[in-house]
């Protein structure tokens, strides 16, 4: 985990001021507080805030090739750098460090952008080619590491977080109504858009080149599936064994570090699998971390303790209360830099704080298993609805859906409401977004809170149509499960789970997350597994359970998926008082001044939540969405301050 920044004058050769780069680094120093580095020449400035994990003594950035014609700043890890380095040395390259960063710059010297095909890792890369006067930017396949950019005054400005761009003083934050419309549909924006107008992200699996005043973006990797019926036909035992082998190696190489590595242990199948693989296939001392909730509706501590005792880990736990979520929520939004419809990132913020307090910089986690091995209820929901659509009048088939959402009372009780809810678009099975249309339609109900101004600005715009237009000709030939997986990965995972709930909450306390299930070799293998081995009946992640059944207790291995959730309205309207920032930001005056929501609609919502009456999932999401948007406005539009950047130490300065 590091942070990178840069300014490239696309049209004029004007030196970049070091104090500006310092301000950019100061804004993201939480990403890498150990040391700082800056490179400048007549046209470009690059900066790095480093979290020292590999090569603690000589791995300082920026790093150059032998003749200093290429300069790199880098955020992330190349896990197979150990295997790549001897090949580069055999080709005559000389290394000054033992870092993975230097492997990147030498391989880029050999292959240019094609070097990306050789990396197993998670990364955001910026390389300056002095001879060609060309800047190369790249982001990993799934978007684990962030990279944002904008154009201002003839310059390309980029950084690991948007606040670095704002810290130049050349970029002003302005919330984009279309982006807000997307968030209130998908839970996130559609890449490359961000919540702020004219601020973009390099999409996952893409690289960009800037040269001679031009900026172009190119795809180098995409998630792909075989046509339906042409998945892997090998015996189940062979598929099971290969999945295990790939996960072992993906986990093993993610333990490469010159500092201690820990693991998250939620008590579910995914994190338990990763922890068990570490315990059985390495000799690493293992410290694990988990979240417990004071609210029993969200608490899973009994399973966390079960796994910790079973694997004999040194376990630490943070207990999260409603008050904790309300207290840290403004800090959470400072780090997400975007509105969110859930409070789930807040406990993750507290968890990474616990990790840092235990002097751990790196944790392995289980993200990705649900997306690529069929773990989410939305996949089972689509499967049942397709089954039901063959006999639309069947009551028995409709009743299967009651089993999917036991934590949503309105949907688990059955009856006319449940049937009507899931019947929407039931027989439209050729719709490319069939699997997600109910979720998106339900979330879009929150738009009733939007102001007249936002409604006018987005009149005639349909975010679902925009997304559907991005699907290529191969998509229609995939299985229904593959289509659902692609949508979930492209929007929810990359844009929300790995960002607001992942990278940002880890980086807030200078912790790096590593994700074995997101190794691209694992992903590409899982994409070829037939649907019936992912979801057997309504048994999710069937093949994963088979693969690791000998490593886990049966009650954990076969335990039904329980989604990670956190309390919402009770966190902001406690029974014993008020949170001043909540009262102020949700007041009709503040809502009207910001201009995104209907003040009276928000006042009614707040009153309902304050009274403690039955609050629906929709009302909870609306509350989180409105409050987080108001916080984004306050923190970034109204009151953003450029940090001075005078206390970066130690600081390495390089000039070319």
CA distance 132 to 136: 11
24 and 167 Cβ atoms separated by less than 8 Å: yes
Same domain? 194 vs 293: no
**Whole-number pLDDT of residue 396:** 85
CA distance 574 to 402: 31
Same domain? 92 vs 170: yes
Q: How many domains, the chain?
A: 3
Same domain? 79 vs 217: yes
Q: 480 lies in a domain?
A: no
A 10 A CB-CB count for 354 gives 17
Same domain? 130 vs 267: no
Q: Is the peptide bond before 474 cis (omega within 30 degrees of 0)?
A: no
Alpha helices in 488-557 (DSSP H): 504-507, 520-527, 531-534, 542-548, 554-557
Last residue of a domain, one of 187, 221, 255: 221
CA distance 532 to 540: 10
CA atoms within 13 A on the CB side of 461: 17
**Whole-number pLDDT of residue 499:** 97
Last residue of a domain, one of 167, 194, 221: 221
Token digits for 453?
């101004």
**Whole-number pLDDT of residue 413:** 62
Q: 427 lies in a domain?
A: no
CATH code where residue 520 lies? 3.40.50.620
Same domain? 21 vs 97: yes
303 and 278 Cβ atoms separated by less than 8 Å: no
Same domain? 276 vs 173: no
A 10 A CB-CB count for 531 gives 20
Same domain? 34 vs 173: yes
- For the chain, what's the residue count? 656
**Whole-number pLDDT of residue 578:** 84
Q: Is the peptide bond before 288 cis (omega within 30 degrees of 0)?
A: no
Q: 31 lies in a domain?
A: yes
Q: 406 lies in a domain?
A: no
**Whole-number pLDDT of residue 612:** 74
Q: 377 lies in a domain?
A: no
CA distance 148 to 500: 14
* Strands 121-129 vs 2-9: parallel, antiparallel or unpaired: unpaired
Token digits for 543?
């093949």
Q: 435 lies in a domain?
A: no
Same domain? 161 vs 297: no
**Whole-number pLDDT of residue 283:** 87
190 and 127 Cβ atoms separated by less than 8 Å: no
CA distance 22 to 193: 26
Nearest to 585 by CA among 596, 574, 570: 596
Is residue 271 packed enough to be buried (19+ CB in 10 Å), middle (13-18) or exposed (0-12)? buried
CA dihedral of 48, 54, 59, 64, whole degrees rounded to 10: -80
> Could you identify the residue written with the tokens 């295997």?
83
610 and 573 Cβ atoms separated by less than 8 Å: yes
CA distance 196 to 612: 34
**Whole-number pLDDT of residue 71:** 98
Q: 428 lies in a domain?
A: no
**Whole-number pLDDT of residue 516:** 98
Last residue of a domain, one of 221, 249, 273: 221
Same domain? 104 vs 167: yes
CATH code where residue 213 lies? 3.60.20.10
CA distance 415 to 373: 31
Judged by DSSP in three states, 481 sits in helix
How many helices (H) and strands (E) the chain has is answered by: 29, 18
Same domain? 271 vs 207: no
Kindly tell me the sign of the dihedral angle through the C-alpha atoms of 165, 167, 171, 176: positive
C-alpha distances in Å from residue 74, one per residue of 2, 276, 365, 475, 647 = 7, 31, 22, 34, 22
**Whole-number pLDDT of residue 414:** 67
Residues of the chain with pLDDT under 70: 409-414
Same domain? 539 vs 596: no
pLDDT digits (tens, 9 = 90+) for 232-241: 999 999 999 9
Same domain? 202 vs 334: no
Q: 383 lies in a domain?
A: no
> Could you identify the residue written with the tokens 């796994």?
307
C-alpha distances in Å from residue 391, one per residue of 47, 382, 386, 653 = 60, 15, 9, 69
CA distance 41 to 292: 50
| Residue-number span of the structural domain to which 596 is assigned | 569-638
31 and 2 Cβ atoms separated by less than 8 Å: yes
Residues 6+ apart with CB under 8 A from 580: none
**Whole-number pLDDT of residue 313:** 95
Judged by DSSP in three states, 134 sits in strand
């Amino acid at each position: 985990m590091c942070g990178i920044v840069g300014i490239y004058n696309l049209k004029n050769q004007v030196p970049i001021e070091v104090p500006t780069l310092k301000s950019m680094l100061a804004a993201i120093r939480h990403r890498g507080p150990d040391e700082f580095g800056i490179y400048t020449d007549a046209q470009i400035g690059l900066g790095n805030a480093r979290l020292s994990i590999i090569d603690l003594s000589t791995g300082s950035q920026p790093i150059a090739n032998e003749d200093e014609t290429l300069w790199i700043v880098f955020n992330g890890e190349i896990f197979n750098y150990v295997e790549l380095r001897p090949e580069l040395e055999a080709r005559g390259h000389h290394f000054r460090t033992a870092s993975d960063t230097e492997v990147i710059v030498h391989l880029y010297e050999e292959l240019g952008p094609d070097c990306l095909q050789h990396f197993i890792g998670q990364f955001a890369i910026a390389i300056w080619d002095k001879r060609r006067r060309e800047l190369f930017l790249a982001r990993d396949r799934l978007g684990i590491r962030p990279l944002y950019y904008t154009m201002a005054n003839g310059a390309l400005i980029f950084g690991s977080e948007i606040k670095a761009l704002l810290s130049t003083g050349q970029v002003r934050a302005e919330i984009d109504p279309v982006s807000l419309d997307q968030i209130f549909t998908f839970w996130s924006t559609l890449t490359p858009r961000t919540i702020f107008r004219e601020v973009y992200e390099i999409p996952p699996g893409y690289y960009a080149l800037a040269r001679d005043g031009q900026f172009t973006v190119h795809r180098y990797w995409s998630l792909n599936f075989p046509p339906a019926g042409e998945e892997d036909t090998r015996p189940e035992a062979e598929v099971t064994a290969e999945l295990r082998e790939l996960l072992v190696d993906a986990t093993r190489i993610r333990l490469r570090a010159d500092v201690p590595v820990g693991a998250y242990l939620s008590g579910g199948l995914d994190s338990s699998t990763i922890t068990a693989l570490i315990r059985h296939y390495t000799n690493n001392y293992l410290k694990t971390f988990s979240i417990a909730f004071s609210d029993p509706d969200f608490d899973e501590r009994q399973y966390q303790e079960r796994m910790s005792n079973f694997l004999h880990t040194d376990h630490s736990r943070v207990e999260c209360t409603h008050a904790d979520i309300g207290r840290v929520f403004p800090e959470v939004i400072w780090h997400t830099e975007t509105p969110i419809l859930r409070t789930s990132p807040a406990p993750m913020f507290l968890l990474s704080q616990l990790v840092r307090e235990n002097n751990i910089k790196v944790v392995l986690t289980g993200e990705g298993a649900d997306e690529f091995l069929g773990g989410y209820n939305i996949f089972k929901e689509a499967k049942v609805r397709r089954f039901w659509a063959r006999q639309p009048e069947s009551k028995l088939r409709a009743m299967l859906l009651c089993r999917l959402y036991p934590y949503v009372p309105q949907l688990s009780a059955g009856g006319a409401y449940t049937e009507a809810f899931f019947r929407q678009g039931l027989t439209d099975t050729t719709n490319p977004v069939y699997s997600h249309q109910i979720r998106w339609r339900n979330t879009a109900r929150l738009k009733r809170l939007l102001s007249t101004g936002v409604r006018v600005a987005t009149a005639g715009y349909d975010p679902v149509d925009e997304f559907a237009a991005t699907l290529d000709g191969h998509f229609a030939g995939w299985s229904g499960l593959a289509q659902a997986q692609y949508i979930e990965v492209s929007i929810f995972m990359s844009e929300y789970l790995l960002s607001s709930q992942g990278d940002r909450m880890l980086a807030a306390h200078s912790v790096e997350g590593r994700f074995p299930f997101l190794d691209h070799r694992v992903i590409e293998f899982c994409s070829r597994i037939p649907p019936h081995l992912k979801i057997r009946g309504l048994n999710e992640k069937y093949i994963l359970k088979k693969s690791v059944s000998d490593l886990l207790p049966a009650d954990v291995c076969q335990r039904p998926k329980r989604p990670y959730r956190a309390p919402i309205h009770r966190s902001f309207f406690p029974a014993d008082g008020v949170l001043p920032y909540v009262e102020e930001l949700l007041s009709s005056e503040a809502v009207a001044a910001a201009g995104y929501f209907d003040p009276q609609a928000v006042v009614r919502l707040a009153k309902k939540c304050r009274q403690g009456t039955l609050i629906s999932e929709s009302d909870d999401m609306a509350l989180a969405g409105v409050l987080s948007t108001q916080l984004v406005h306050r923190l970034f539009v109204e009151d953003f301050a450029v940090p001075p950047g005078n206390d970066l130490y130690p600081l390495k300065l390089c000039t070319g």
